[in-house]
């Protein structure tokens, strides 16, 4: 994703955009160049696709409240549906294939980084993978993510997965081989 080769390019910015970038850079103690690169990377990795895919921006509190109206079983069912439909469409749209690699390296990394749905961690030991989705939104979200992961692995990828859940995170373990 990130390239170590830098390219110099001159661009024109509106005055108010430049002032806002300079103020933000000073406040965050980074360079304007850093902010511009971060914004452009998000644009090319997420925004272009998210708009075409139909993503909506909603406050996390609203999404959490909506989930609270579901029963535990409805949260699980929504996770199964999302895993079999949305994740498949997401992977195909962004990466042009549904595979263990695109699932593990693409979907959670982008969804965590830009969608802010959860914190994502992974660990690989030999051919065994452990992925952690830490969402911090309660047990119904754990039911949702657990079923989402199970349905993706078992239905789409035809791989065995073992999951564990707590109130605020889901852990999935599987073999990549």
pLDDT digits (tens, 9 = 90+) for 37-68: 888 888 887 788 778 877 778 888 898 899 99
CA torsion sign for 109, 100, 136, 64 is positive
We report the CATH number of the domain holding residue 98 as 3.90.1520.10
Within a domain: residue 145? yes
Task: Grade residue 88 by pLDDT with cuts at 50, 70 and 90.
Answer: confident
Instruction: Write out the residue range of the structural domain in which residue 154 sits.
Output: 77-175
Split into its structural domains, the chain has a count of 2
What's this model's pTM, rounded to 2 decimal places?
A: 0.79
Containing 122, the helix (H) or strand (E) segment is strand 119-125
């Amino acid at each position: 994703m990130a390239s170590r080769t830098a390219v110099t390019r001159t661009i024109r910015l509106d005055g108010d955009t430049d002032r806002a970038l300079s103020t933000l850079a000073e406040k965050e103690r980074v360079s304007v160049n850093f902010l511009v690169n971060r914004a452009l990377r998000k644009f090319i990795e997420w925004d272009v696709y998210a708009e075409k895919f139909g993503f909506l921006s909603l406050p996390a509190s609203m999404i959490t409240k909506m989930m609270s109206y579901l029963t535990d079983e409805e949260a699980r069912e929504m996770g199964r549906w999302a895993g079999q439909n949305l994740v498949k469409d997401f992977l195909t749209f962004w990466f042009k294939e549904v595979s263990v690699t695109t699932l593990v390296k693409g979907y959670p990394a982008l969804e965590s980084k830009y969608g802010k749905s959860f914190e994502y961690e992974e660990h690989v030991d030999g051919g065994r993978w452990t992925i952690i989705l830490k969402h911090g939104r309660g047990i119904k979200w754990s039911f949702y993510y657990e079923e989402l992961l199970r349905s993706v692995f078992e239905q789409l990828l035809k791989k065995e997965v073992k999951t564990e859940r707590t109130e605020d995170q889901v852990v999935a373990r599987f073999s990549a081989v």
